[in-house]
Amino acid sequence: MAYSLDHLLVIGISSRALFDLEAEDEIFRQQGLDAFRSHQLQHENKVLNPGAGFALVNALLKLNVLVPERRMVEVVVMSRNSSETSLRIFNSIKHYGLDISRAALTGGAPLSPYLKAFNVSLFLSLHEDDVQAAINSGVASAMLYPMPPNAADMEQIRIAFDGDAVIFSDESERIYQQHGVEAFEQHERENAKKPLPEGPFARLLVALSYLQNQFRAPDGRAFPIRTALVTARSSPAHERVIRTLRAWNIAIDETFFMGGVNKSEVLAAFKPHMFFDDQHAHCIKASDVVPTGRVPIRQTQQ
């Protein structure tokens, strides 16, 4: 009987995002494919260290043990490696006890054409071209930054999002970039009761909200997953955000309207397994304290 990935939260993650393969990537770039192949074959029984996306994947997979005989999350390792050089990846997955059995190994070909084939809800990679192509195809995707030192390992799954160009579209962000803060605030006041258009991570947030509702206690709390919105917006631009989430029937656990204040201290206190933002400057600062992924702006074909 065929196994369906429908109605599951499917995470596609590159091997470099799941494990620390920076030294191996350097060998590939400096010495070529043959040297990389030889290195991987010689070291295929040497366990790799966790990479930038390991903590999030490991935490999400634990949802599958909370309800007997019901899976909620699947993870697919997606790599440009060939099957010949991939045994080290599978051996490391086994070493860490990760519940991962599926992989797409494309032998150097782009990964984005296979995302929808695996019904991927979120794609994480260190390869910018793959992330951009995934975003362009409508899949929530982020390019991960190096792991910060002493990253927190929380039992509860914690995910933090920026607002504009991540959860919401970049429509309002473009007004700010092109015309300044006064024009942005005026636009948001005039459209306060009009829900913001969906951004690339809107459907992921909906999926997480659905999962939260499966574990919600009588007091309204959902212990396994906690979400946060950490946005540069402030009053008067806050109202449209609140009304949009209400229209989507989504309750984010913690919301921070930063008004331009550095997000790093709030993120360090929240301790997310991953923070998603569209601005490189914000991501660089955040990546010093928490695992961080940058969400590129979708590029449309002219």
Backbone angles phi, psi at 267, to 5 degrees: -65, -40
Catalytic residue chosen out of the listed positions 20, 130, 162, 278:
162
List the structure tokens of 141.
Answer: 């995707």
Q: How far is CA 244 from CA 46, 123, 162, 249, in A?
A: 49, 25, 14, 9
> Is residue 298 helix, strand or coil?
coil
- The one-letter code for the residue type at 157 is I
| Nearest-10 crossing angle of helices 33-42, 22-31 | 140
Cα gap 54→48, rounded to integer Å: 11
Q: Answer positive or negative: Cα dihedral of 9, 6, 98, 43.
A: negative
Cα gap 62→231, rounded to integer Å: 29
Cα gap 278→280, rounded to integer Å: 7
Backbone angles phi, psi at 79, to 5 degrees: -140, 145
| Residue 20 annotated in active site | no
Alpha helices in 137-190 (DSSP H): 171-179, 181-190
Q: Which residue has the tokens 């029984």?
A: 45
101, 74 Cβ separation under 8 angstroms: no
Cα gap 109→34, rounded to integer Å: 17
Q: Catalytic residues, which ones?
A: 162
